[in-house]
């Protein structure tokens, strides 16, 4: 182990859609957190691990703060707060293309309210989308929320200033040996990753046609010696009408979802995948405690 090795847990906090999942994906070089053009697609706290020569960065991707409208929302807020108290470093991610919103203020207050005095890096994302002459002023508005935070302006989509962000992160992590074996990328097992990728494929293919109430359960995950894996999964929707939309005319929509999900899982696991999907209606599952526990929330 080299001298000056740093390691620790990093919480990425930010309101929905600022680019948390995109950043995590680009840093880890693999698809782990679901990214979609809509807010709140990240529901579980996820762990992504980046192992470098001189550091191990363990990322916790939090769902972000929002007003809970149902039980699922409450659990998401709880997870976000937990992550905040338990980590070694907080990345407070903001969207620099617009001024701070009440949600940003609320999040900054939560960070200031932590007893742990955890170091914070303000990550101003999406600089590819603004006129550079306005950057200093835009940054000031956010810096005033957390005057003690280090600041870096990046683009998670084109990779600008990511090296700078990485060295800033490493310099602020505690010194210590790695927590996980080098080859480990995530503590989510393949089943969970497959479920997330299927859910992401649904959101991607369906766009705004079906609202948030989609969940995925893996029913079978069978290894076929040397020939990949066979996966059977159920997509749960909230209404009968949603079921029709997910399946589509002559099953076309479901076929597209299946193709995309299969390709994503194959890319992640580097082997052939046979994917069988079905769709079921689960009434009001978001408010059903038993169902939530069963799905692992
Ligand atoms: P999250 O809700 O914070 O996890 O946000 P996502 O990572 O899902 O990103 C939300 C949207 O912002 C997606 O459409 C991304 O492609 C987009 N996005 C993320 N980072 C950048 C960036 O640096 N520049 C631009 N232009 N778009 C970005
Ligand atoms: Mg996300």
Of residues 271, 206, 274, the one with CA closest to residue 243: 206
The pLDDT score that the predictor gives to residue 287 is: 55
For 174, list phi and psi in degrees, rounded to 5. Answer: -65, 150
The pLDDT score that the predictor gives to residue 42 is: 41
The pLDDT score that the predictor gives to residue 184 is: 52
Of residues 101, 95, 93, the one with CA closest to residue 149: 93
Q: Residue ranges of the chain with pLDDT lower than 70? A: 1-3, 29-48, 61-83, 180-189, 211-212, 283-297
* Ligand 1 centroid to residue 95 C-alpha, Å: 9
| Domains along the chain with CATH numbers | 6-172 (3.40.50.300), 190-294 (3.30.300.20)
Q: Which ligand 1 atom minimizes the distance to the CA of 40?
A: 2
Residue nearest to atom 9 of ligand 1 (CA): 19
The pLDDT score that the predictor gives to residue 66 is: 41
35, 60, 103, best to mutate for ligand 1 pocket (most atoms within 8 Å of CB): 35
The pLDDT score that the predictor gives to residue 82 is: 64
Query: H/E element holding 105?
Result: helix 102-113
Under 8 Å between Cβ of 44 and 61: no
* Ligand 2 centroid to residue 14 C-alpha, Å: 9
The pLDDT score that the predictor gives to residue 226 is: 72
The pLDDT score that the predictor gives to residue 188 is: 57
C-alpha 107/C-alpha 223 separation (Å) is: 43
Token pair, residue 240, equals 């009968």
């Amino acid at each position: 182990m080299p001298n000056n090795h740093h390691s620790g847990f990093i919480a990425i906090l930010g309101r929905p859609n600022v680019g948390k999942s995109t950043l995590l994906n680009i840093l880890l070089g693999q698809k782990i957190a679901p990214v979609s053009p809509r807010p709140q697609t990240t529901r579980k706290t996820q762990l992504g691990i980046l192992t470098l020569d001189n550091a191990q960065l363990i990322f916790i991707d939090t769902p972000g703060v929002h007003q809970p409208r149902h039980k699922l929302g409450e659990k998401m807020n709880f997870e976000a707060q937990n992550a905040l108290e338990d980590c070694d470093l907080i990345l407070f991610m903001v969207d620099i293309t617009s001024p701070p919103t009440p949600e940003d203020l609320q999040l900054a207050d939560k960070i200031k309210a932590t007893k742990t005095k955890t170091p914070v890096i303000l990550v101003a994302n999406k600089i590819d989308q603004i006129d550079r002459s306005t950057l200093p002023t835009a940054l000031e508005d956010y810096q005033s929320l957390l005057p003690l935070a280090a600041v870096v302006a990046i683009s998670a989509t084109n990779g600008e200033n990511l090296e700078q962000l990485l060295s800033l992160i490493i310099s602020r992590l505690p010194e210590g040996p790695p927590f996980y074996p080098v080859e480990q990328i995530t503590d989510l097992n393949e089943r969970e990753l497959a479920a997330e990728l299927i859910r992401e494929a649904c959101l991607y293919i369906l766009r705004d046609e079906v609202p948030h109430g989609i969940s995925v359960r893996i029913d079978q995950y069978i290894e076929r010696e040397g020939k990949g894996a066979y996966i059977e999964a159920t997509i749960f929707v909230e209404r009968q009408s949603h079921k029709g939309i997910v399946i589509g005319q002559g099953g076309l929509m479901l076929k597209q979802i299946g193709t995309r999900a299969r390709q994503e899982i194959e890319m992640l696991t580097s082997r052939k995948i046979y994917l069988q999907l079905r769709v079921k209606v689960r009434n009001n599952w978001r408010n059903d405690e038993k169902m939530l526990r069963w799905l692992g929330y």
